[in-house]
Structure 1
Amino acid sequence: MADLTGKRILLGVSGGIAAYKSADLVRRLGDAGADVRVVMTAGAQEFVRPLTFQAVSGNPVHTSLLDPDAEAAMGHIELARWADAVLIAPASADVIARLAHGHADDLLTTLCLATEAPLAIAPAMNRVMWAHPATQANVALLVERNATVLGPGAGDQACGEVGSGRMLEPLELVAGLTTLFPARSLAGEHVVLTAGPTREAIDPVRYISNRSSGRMGFALAAAAARAGARVTLVSGPVALPTPPGVERVDVESAAQMHDAVMARIADCTIFIACAAVADYRVATPADAKIKKNDADMALALVRNPDILADVAGGAQAPFTVGFAAETNDMQANAEGKRRRKGLDMIAANWVGRPGSGFDAEDNALEVSWDGGSVALGPSPKTRLAEALLEVVEQRLRDKQSQEKA
């Protein structure tokens, strides 16, 4: 039986006679362990009433983009963030066309633009509509953007014709939906990650920090949890929600981050140092706010503890992955860091360039290890995290095999 335990599925129902099957689909998704929320288009409500989906899902049904009660809290954005996956079943020719061309003229299409969750569509339409070049071009465009197409099936259609265009049966869609989630390949592993910036106090008001948003580290933590690992995320100050299933430890300074990591590293099997940790701190922070008196001011700085080197140099070191944010000579600098600190792997990226690195939704990584390398991205950090973890998992298994040989 398909397993969607704990997955949050946003089911979009568009207009078409196949909408009657979607009520059973909600039940089947629930049987697989999923938590389901339903969004209906105006056309869908002409075939099935919202009350039906509320009854089978046990949750309110969402139908309007401009719902005053929901929009007081930006309800459509909350739904978009809530979902682990979006499934549109049935997906009519009209909704496929609007998705392909980036429309946001109702709740469902707006959600699809606003979510970072994977999207799956289950086409359902007349065979001629399905075969039309416009429909095929729209589907191809969605596939290029990493949407998953489930179906359609072939057979008798409500219009009396026979051919491709039938929506897949609910159990087939549940099985297809499981492919959107990675296998629990890290089950039994304890992954410790660092994320975000650190802050080094100058006085009670000011501090030294950097531009890290924490998005990459949080995406990695979420991906590791989905892959079945026990995940501990040691985070500097960021405005990000804790990923589901992740233990979060909030710190501020590099010293605090060092202490938090070292206290949790004993049973760790994978350590990923994604945080942008300050190399230096103020030797003696002022107890009171420093007043603007002199034309110049000098701060004495001292080195912070090296978290990554201390973890990699431990007696029973975990598989250790470092990050290198570089503005020049990226590969040479990253490889030097990997060798100097004895890391199993390092992921390097450019910073200070538009569209990548700090304060960006997308990124690209050059990942290297002893004897190999791979380029990942550019892609959204959520997808980049999945790809990087696949490389980490493969290299970990290779290292374990070599140690047993």
Structure 2
Amino acid sequence: MQSHFEFNFFSDKAIHFGVTGSISAFKIYSIVRLLLKLGINISCTLTKSAQQFVTPLSFQALGVDPVYSDMFKPQGNHFSHLAPSRTAQCQIIAPATANFIAKMAHGIADDMLSCQTLAFPHQQILAPAMNSLMWLSIPVQNNIQILKSRNVNILTPREGLLACGDAGLGKLADENDIFLSILKALSPQDLTGKKVLVCFGPTHEYFDVARYWSNPSTGLMGACLAIAAWLRGAEVHVVHGPCSFYFPQSIIITSITSAKQMYEAMITKYQAFDIICMAAAVADFSPIPFALSDEKFKRDITGLSVPNIEFTANPDILAKLGTLKTANQKLIGFCAETRDLELHAKEKLVRKNCDLMVANYIGHCDSGFNSSTNDVAVIDKYGRYEKWPVLPKTEVAWRILDWTTHV
């Protein structure tokens, strides 16, 4: 599992998987493993055609319980067709065939899964998979529109090489998107209607074509904030330096390299957002290039020559945003410190006109750069201060967003 997906807030949640007859059914195994790792309870129903590709025993071996199959097979519960509606908060049909989409759209209930689907009153997610000619056919698209009108979350198939050898639109949605869509269905939607801008990662300040000045930031803290905000219903945009994370397609991404590029991107975008999270590890200084843009520094024949590198100050992005933000915007700042978290957090909160300041230790193995956990202190503009224990960065992100509802 990717580190910015590990949100451990779902151990009291339950979901129901419906698997129908597609070659991509085997891909559900890996998704189930990830969900079980988060403590989510999973039940599952395999249609008769699904069992031509995967087996009930395989899901049981992974820890799925119960696993349903035939409608009239004795399974210890005479009302199994109603069980998911009473135990699960979310149902996902993946992969969903054209046949099952039609049954779901028109209320046909002729097997265990279609009965369970008809009776399910909560969030439903559909991940279709089929040949592109079938997917693009008028009947299938009409049925998809019917389901969308009922607020079923449709995960559009991907384009690529299909099992039959054709290339086109019809591949099962990415496993990461299916996984995250389930987490979103289980999350509070308290940021619905909010627009969140998250800036994270290092910046690279080049002084010749081959070398740059930077820091060890991985961008994980900001990536966790972006995913947490998306899970809770926000429209999310990210501006990030040189780092790589998987995000849902609905998260809009702007990639930059240098501090000046990050400054320009943030100043251009900030006005449209309700919450601005400035988690980037921006280089405070940039080396002044001493070579042409397409050249690199060369040592002389002695091998002892050393470049004389001079630096210039980069713009302070957080401080600038603090002067520009409106009363309706919330600005969250981060500061990386080696000591006196409370002192530095209070000083920078005021100096940079933030609504919330998060100070974290760096130089510790369990906090800051290159760590999946963080050791932070937080203070807001009303003087409320807390020192949190060392926590996974996903939990720190979640708590920060909790805080914004009170700032």
Could you tell me which residue of structure 2 aligns to residue 229 of structure 1? 234
* Compared CA separation, residues 315 and 384, structure 1 to 2 (3 A): closer
Closer, same or farther in 2 for the Cα pair 1:158/1:173, shift >3 Å?
closer
Choose the corresponding residue for 2:336, options 325, 343, 368.
325
- CA 1:366–1:64 in structure 2 vs 1: closer, same or farther (change >3 Å)? closer
Which residue is equivalent to 2:3? none
CA change 1:226–1:285 in 2 (3 A) is farther
> Aligned to 1:277, what secondary structure does the other structure show?
coil
SS at match of 2:17: helix
Out of 178, 187, 190, which is 2:192 matched to? 187
1:228 Cα offset (Å): 1.6
Tell me, yes or no, if the aligned pair for 2:366 and 2:390 is still in contact at 8 Å: no
Letter in 2 for 1:310: K
Other-structure match for 1:41: none
Q: For 1:34-86, what per-residue CA distance to the aligned partner results, in whole angstroms no more than 9, with x for missing partners? A: xxxxxxxxxxxxxxxxxxx333xx57333999xxxxxxxxxx499749x9995
Matched residue SS, 1:310: helix
Residues 324/79 of structure 1: CA separation in 2 closer, same or farther (3 Å cut): same
Work out whether residues 80 and 111 of structure 1, in 8 Å CA contact, stay in contact via their aligned partners in 2. no
Q: Which moved more, 1:247-256 or 1:362-371?
A: 362-371
The alpha-carbon distance between structure 1 residues 109 and 326, as it changes in their structure 2 partners (threshold 3 A), is: farther
Partners in 2 of 1:111 and 1:170 — Cα distance? 19
C-alpha contact 1:198 1:277 (8 A) present in aligned 2: yes
Whole-angstrom CA distance in 2 between matches of 1:207 and 1:261: 22
Which segment drifts farther, 167-176 or 341-350? 167-176
Contact 1:225 1:244 in 2 (8 A): no
CA spacing shift, 1:229–1:300, aligned 2, 3 Å = same
Whether the 8 Å contact between 2:200 and 2:240 is mirrored in structure 1 is yes
Deviates most, 169-178 or 337-346 = 169-178
Q: Are residue 296 (structure 1) and residue 287 (structure 2) matched?
A: no
CA shift at 1:365, angstroms?
2.1
1:394 aligns with 2:403: no
Could you tell me which residue of structure 2 aligns to residue 342 of structure 1? Answer: 353
Identity, % of aligned positions: 30
Q: Which residue in 2 is equivalent to 1:162? A: none
RMSD between superposed Cα atoms in Å: 3.7
Aligned mates of 1:168, 1:336 — CA distance in 2: 58
| Alpha carbons of structure 1 residues 289 and 189: separation in structure 2 relative to 1, 3 Å | same
Normalised by the size of structure 1, how large is the TM-score?
A: 0.59
Alignment of 1:244-255 (within 5 A): 244-255=249-260
Query: Per-residue displacement from partner, 1:183-206 (whole Å, max 9, x unpaired)?
Result: 221122221110110000110000
CA distance in 2, matches of 1:379, 1:226: 19
Amino acid at match of 1:316: T
TM score, norm. by length of structure 2: 0.59
What is the CA–CA distance in structure 1 between the aligned matches of 2:306 and 2:60, rounded to whole Å?
Answer: 56
Aligned length: 275
Q: Check the 8 A contact 2:199/2:279 in 1, yes or no.
A: yes
Secondary structure at the aligned position of 1:61 is classed as: helix
Instruction: Please give the residue correspondences for 1:3-402 in structure 2 after superposition, counting only pairs within 5 Å.
Output: 25-27=16-18, 53-55=19-21, 60-62=24-26, 76=30, 80=34, 86-89=40-43, 158=76, 169-175=83-89, 181-287=186-292, 288-293=295-300, 294-314=304-324, 316=326, 318-370=329-381, 371-395=383-407
Q: How many Å separate the matches in 2 of 1:309 and 1:354?
A: 29
Q: CA deviation at 1:310?
A: 0.7
- Alpha-carbon contact 1:237-1:251 (below 8 Å) kept: yes
Deviation of 1:311 (Å)? 0.7
Opposite residue 54 of structure 1, the aligned amino acid is: T
Find the aligned partners of 1:196 and 1:320 in 2 and give their Cα distance. Answer: 18
Unaligned runs of 5+ in 1: 1-21, 28-52, 66-75, 91-105, 113-120, 125-156, 160-165, 396-405
Pick closer, same or farther for the CA change 1:197–1:107 going to 2, 3 Å.
Answer: farther
Partners of 2:191 and 2:27 in 1: how far apart? 38
Measure, in 2, the Cα distance between the counterparts of 1:243 and 1:78: 19
In the alignment, the residues of structure 2 paired with residue 222 and residue 254 of structure 1 have an alpha-carbon distance, to the nearest angstrom, of 23
Alpha carbons 1:376, 1:388 under 8 Å: kept? no
Contact 2:225 2:394 in 1 (8 A): yes
Paired position in structure 2 for 1:101: none
Structure 2 residues without counterparts, runs of 5 or longer: 1-14, 45-56, 68-74, 92-122, 124-181
Whole-Å Cα distance in 1 between the matches of residues 401 and 306 of structure 2?
A: 47
Amino acid at match of 1:198: T
Question: Partners of 2:352 and 2:255 in 1: how far apart?
Answer: 25
Q: Which amino acid aligns with 2:233?
A: G
Deviation for aligned residue 1:305: 0.6
Q: 1:174 to 1:263 in 2, by over 3 A?
A: same
Question: Does the 8 Å contact 1:196/1:276 carry over to 2?
Answer: yes
Deviation at 1:290, TM superposition (A): 0.6
